[in-house]
């Protein structure tokens, strides 16, 4: 007679264990929460105010940093996205180009908005940033602008990359260095003052090996300075990354270029 209660307890224990095992085994492990990191977004709507000069605001999130441009200079720095808040961990460093008209006020608007720690939310391919008085709706750049082909596109230099900084200037915008890589690997274009030509060996992965030469004209010192930086970036092996209508070239020597597809 004493055996029955013990067997009953054993049956209950086994049943409970089986139910617990089924419950835990059926749960899928949750993956990492989605964040904007690794994406570029372009503003499509601003509620509560307008970007001076019309914008748009472009935000690029990569390697723990954010880069922002709203029509004039580009600002960048380390960013913390925890707690659904976009928080620059230090004052954003910006390029120093002067911009005409209302665009000249875009930088102050941009810095003020980003350094106010706006809250962020993802809705599929859309990023919504909500500040104290302004809400900015942005869409993934790859949705708005599919990747341009590396070959056959005319790429215009908009930013010079050195070992110390990324530089935009009025001179750079005025002279508009550009290049086109043909299907056979031929390179044509203009370095700033002189016409350039040569070859681009498309290697494995994203490697591109440039060998270019130029004509020998002399221009104003500031133009020649731009040209020299362009040629340093196009000297030897580079890493080429296409993001929508933007091409980034980074040379092993520490120099590089950011270029945009000509419309």
d(CA 144, CA 122): 16
Q: Would the pTM of this model clear 0.85, i.e. be above it?
A: no
Cross-strand bridge partners of residue 75 = 68, 94
HSE on the CB side for 163, CA within 13 Å? 4
- Show Cβ contacts of residue 27 under 8 Å, excluding neighbours closer than 6 positions: none
Q: Predicted confidence band at 250 (pLDDT cuts at 50, 70, 90)?
A: very high
CATH class of 40-144: mainly beta
pLDDT at 162 over 60: yes
Return residue ranges of the chain for CATH 2.40.128.270: 40-144, 154-261
Dihedral, CA of residue 15, residue 17, residue 19 and residue 20, to nearest 10:
160
Does residue 22 register a pLDDT over 70?
no
Predicted pLDDT at 166:
86
Residue 21 has pLDDT above 80, yes or no: no
Helical ranges in 34-189 per DSSP H: 106-114, 141-144, 170-175
pLDDT at site 54: 95
Within 13 Å and on the Cβ side, how many CA atoms surround 236? 8
CA 165/CA 69 separation, integer angstroms: 16
Are 238 and 255 in contact by the 8 Å Cβ rule? The answer is no
Record: fold of 154-261: Lipocalin (2.40.128)
């Amino acid at each position: 007679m004493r055996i029955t209660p013990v067997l009953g307890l054993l049956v209950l224990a086994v049943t409970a264990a089986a139910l617990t095992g089924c419950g835990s085994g059926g749960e899928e492990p949750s993956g990492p929460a989605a964040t904007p990191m690794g994406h570029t977004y372009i503003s499509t709507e601003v509620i509560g105010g307008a970007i001076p000069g019309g914008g748009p605001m472009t935000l690029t999130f990569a390697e723990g940093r954010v880069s922002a441009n709203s029509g004039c200079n580009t600002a960048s720095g380390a960013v913390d996205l925890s707690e659904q808040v976009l928080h620059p961990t230090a004052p954003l460093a910006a390029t120093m180009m002067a911009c005409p008209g209302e665009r000249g006020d875009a930088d102050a608007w941009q810095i003020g908005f980003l350094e106010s720690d706006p809250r962020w939310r993802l809705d599929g391919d859309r990023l919504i940033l909500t500040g104290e008085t302004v809400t900015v709706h942005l869409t993934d750049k790859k949705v708005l602008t599919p990747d341009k082909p590396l070959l056959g596109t005319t790429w215009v230099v908009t930013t010079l990359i050195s070992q110390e900084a990324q530089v935009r200037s009025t001179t750079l915008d005025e002279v508009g260095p550009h290049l086109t890589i043909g299907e056979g690997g031929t390179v044509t274009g203009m370095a700033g003052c002189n016409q350039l030509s040569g070859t681009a060996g498309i290697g494995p992965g994203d490697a591109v090996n440039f060998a270019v030469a130029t004509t020998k004209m002399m221009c104003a010192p500031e133009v020649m300075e731009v040209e020299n930086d362009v040629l340093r970036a196009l000297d030897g092996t580079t890493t080429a990354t296409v993001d929508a209508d933007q091409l980034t070239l980074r040379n092993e020597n520490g120099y590089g270029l950011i270029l945009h597809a000509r419309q």
